[in-house]
């Protein structure tokens, strides 16, 4: 199965700053079949990005995804207070579908 490694484990930033989160796959993810989710404490994950770069319905344009092959990035252009959460990547190019271990984005 494809192992997804997210970095950093924790990212400390201030509102208004730019966040760059990384997701690296143990083997190439076909057709950029990668999604990103946001999870806040006590809540279910929320789909942000699919197809590596397509925003899900209702997701603000400050969230953007990029990458292909084994290296993918989620960028939040200007952090809002509600963006501090845990972010997960998920690949669906190969079965079984797998998730990364998460990056915690915390307020500095």
Partner 1 sequence: QVQLQESGPGLVKPSQTLSLTCTVSGGSISRGYYYWGWIRQHPGKGLEWIGYIYYSGSTYHNPSLKSRVTISVDTSKNQFSLKLNSVTATDTAVYYCARDTGQYFDHWGQGTLVTVSS
Choice from 13, 22, 47, 70 touching partner 1 (CB under 8 A): 47
Partners of 45 in beta bridges: none
Which residues, 15 to 44, sit near partner 1 by CB under 8 A? 33, 35, 37, 43-44
Task: Say how far apart CA 91 and CA 96 lie, in whole Å.
Answer: 9
Is 45 among the residues that bind partner 1 (CB under 8 A)?
A: yes
Choice from 13, 53, 56, 59 touching partner 1 (CB under 8 A): 56
CA atoms within 13 A on the CB side of 28: 4
Q: How far is the CB of 55 from partner 1 (least distance, A)?
A: 12
Is 67 among the residues that bind partner 1 (CB under 8 A)?
A: no
Q: Which is nearer to partner 1, 18 or 50 (CB)?
A: 50
Q: What is the CA radius of gyration of the chain?
A: 13
Strands annotated E in 1-108: 4-7, 10-13, 19-29, 34-39, 46-50, 54-55, 63-76, 86-91, 98-99, 103-107
Choice from 101, 106, 107, 108 touching partner 1 (CB under 8 A): 101
Give the binding site for partner 1 (CB under 8 A): 33, 35, 37, 43-47, 50, 56, 88, 90, 92, 95-102
């Amino acid at each position: 199965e494809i192992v997804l490694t997210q970095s950093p484990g924790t990212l400390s930033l201030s509102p208004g700053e730019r966040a760059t989160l990384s997701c690296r796959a143990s083997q190439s993810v076909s057709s950029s079949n990668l999604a990103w989710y946001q999870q806040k404490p006590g809540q279910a994950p929320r789909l942000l990005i699919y197809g590596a770069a397509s925003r899900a319905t209702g997701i603000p344009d400050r969230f953007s995804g990029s990458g292909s092959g084994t290296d993918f990035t989620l960028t939040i252009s200007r952090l809002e207070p509600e963006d501090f959460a845990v972010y997960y990547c998920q690949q669906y190019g190969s079965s079984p579908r797998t998730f990364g271990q998460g990056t915690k984005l915390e307020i500095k």
